[in-house]
Amino acid sequence: MSEQALSGIKVIDLAEGISGSYCAKLMADFGADVIKVEAPNNNDGLRKVGPFKDDDPSAEKSGTFFYLNTNKKSVTIDLTSNKGQDIFKKLVKDTDVVIESFEPGKMADMGLSYNTLQEINPNLVMTSITWFGQNGPYRDFKATNFTAFGLAGAMYMMRQTRWPDTRPTILGGKQAEYTAGLIGYIVTMAAVISPVKGTWIDLSVMEALASTLTGVSADYSYIGLSRRTLPWAIHGFPTQENYPCKDGFVNLTPGLGGTKVIADLIEKPEERENPLLVKAGARVKAPEKFEELVLPWLKEHKKWEITEKAQKLKLAFAPILSPKELLDDPQLKAREFFVKTEHPEMGEVTYPGAPAKLSETPWKAGRAPLMGEHTEEILTDIGYTKSDLTALADEGII
């Protein structure tokens, strides 16, 4: 394989949870040498998060841990012990990046503050990802993906567009944490390539998510508008809705203005002058009547049949794909998006591949490490003998 984009960059991953792990995973998959540090008797909590291969909740069969730790190496070190901290400091001497997600002040309590580590390695970049940042009144609050969505303002808009007065809801998955992980990757790489060497990055999940909102703060600042939904309804869609069809759901976007061709789609040419199809405002005022017009035809046809016909009429309709359908999607297959790899405990695993394709320095498929799999290899490289490692293991340090 060609040299990868991040070949030669060395990273220590201390993170638990999704954000820091995802940040480090992106670096590992693009070629960085990433060492995942886990406590000997209290491994990364992600190993306890399902789904589990064959419903076996063992530490080595978590699908979540697998995905977030591909291409990393694992060492076990007790960072609360003096000897464990000494090991870590030796690793830091030859490291470009440390990624951590402890609560604010924890690294300093262990004698591993950024100032301490920078004395060992002046060029070190340390990325600290917490829910609310290293200072401020929320600094020590505990949080979850759910509460971060609410506090960041993102949940306020997450309502069904036609019913803006309903309760706010949330996107599925752990999108706040993945957003923070992605931004963490971006700012970490910015610090790595910066001519100014030595940087401590203070990244707040709340702020990372708030930075991605669709201009709502600017709207309120300039015109006093507080959107309670995404703004499609004001364009007369009447909304961007997901409607049932014969084999699932389709995403229905009627358009910004007149949409006479919907009459051709549903095989009712006599409806071409229906105000519901000609005037956006009519659809906004009477969405139920619009549904009465289109739903009978949709329910008699399959999602891809509807999509193909709609696209020919220049209607932006699309199928809603399930996970199973996504794996079989011809576009993703053509681009070889999903990849397979072998894991010693899980066997063959299929998982999402490269988020982007680099022609000269490609992304690489790989597996997650077993807990402590590379401890001997990595600590031997920094000068520990096998007898040293045996003694450290006996003391529970590694």
CA-derived radius of gyration, the chain: 26
- Residue 22's pLDDT band, with cuts at 50, 70 and 90, is very high
What are the C-alpha distances in Å from 128 to residues 114, 140, 209, 256, 305?
Answer: 10, 14, 16, 44, 48
Same-domain pairing of 79 and 150? yes
Query: Among 324, 343, 368, which residue terminates a domain?
Result: 324
Give residue 285's pLDDT.
79
DSSP labels, 7-27 = TT-EEEE---SHHHHHHHHHH
* In a domain? residue 293: yes
Q: For residues 219 and 122, which has the higher predicted lDDT (pLDDT)?
A: 122
Each residue of 320-338: pLDDT tens digit?
999 999 999 999 999 999 9
Residues 25 and 89 in one domain: yes
DSSP assigned state of 274: -
Q: What is the pLDDT of residue 236?
A: 43
**Averaged confidence pLDDT in the chain:** 90
Residue 145 lies in a domain: yes
176: domain CATH number? 3.40.50.10540
Assign residue 276 the CATH number of its domain.
3.30.1540.10
Q: What is the pLDDT of residues 152-197, one digit of tens each?
A: 988 877 766 666 677 777 778 899 999 999 999 999 999 999 999 9
CA pair distance 118, 99, nearest whole angstrom: 14
Asked whether residue 71 falls in the same domain as residue 127, the answer is yes
305 alpha-carbon distance from chain centroid? 32
Tell me, what DSSP letter sits at residue 151?
Answer: H
- Residue 195 is predicted with a pLDDT of 95
232, part of any domain: no
pLDDT tens for 220-276 read 676 666 666 544 444 444 455 789 999 999 988 776 556 889 999 999 999 999 998
Q: What is the pLDDT of residue 286?
A: 83
Asked, for residue 330, whether it belongs to a domain, the answer is no
Domain tally, the chain: 2
Least confident of 196-205, 227-236, 288-297: 227-236
Question: Could you say which DSSP state residue 352 is in?
Answer: E
Is the CB of residue 100 less than 8 Å from the CB of residue 15? Answer: yes
Give residue 166's identity as a one-letter amino acid code.
Answer: T
Domain assignment present for residue 358? The answer is yes
Which residue range(s) make up the domain with 122?
Answer: 10-213+335-394
Distance CA 109, CA 112 (A): 7
E strand or H helix that includes residue 325: helix 323-327
Q: Which residues pair with 389 in a beta bridge?
A: none
Q: Has residue 359 been placed in a domain?
A: yes
C-alpha torsion angle, residues 195, 200, 206, 212 (rounded to 10): 10
Beta-strand relationship, 10-13 and 33-38: parallel
Say yes or no: 193 and 318 in one domain: no
As a whole number of angstroms, the distance between CA 112 and CA 114 comes to 7
329 belongs to a structural domain: no
Whether residue 307 sits in one domain with residue 182: no
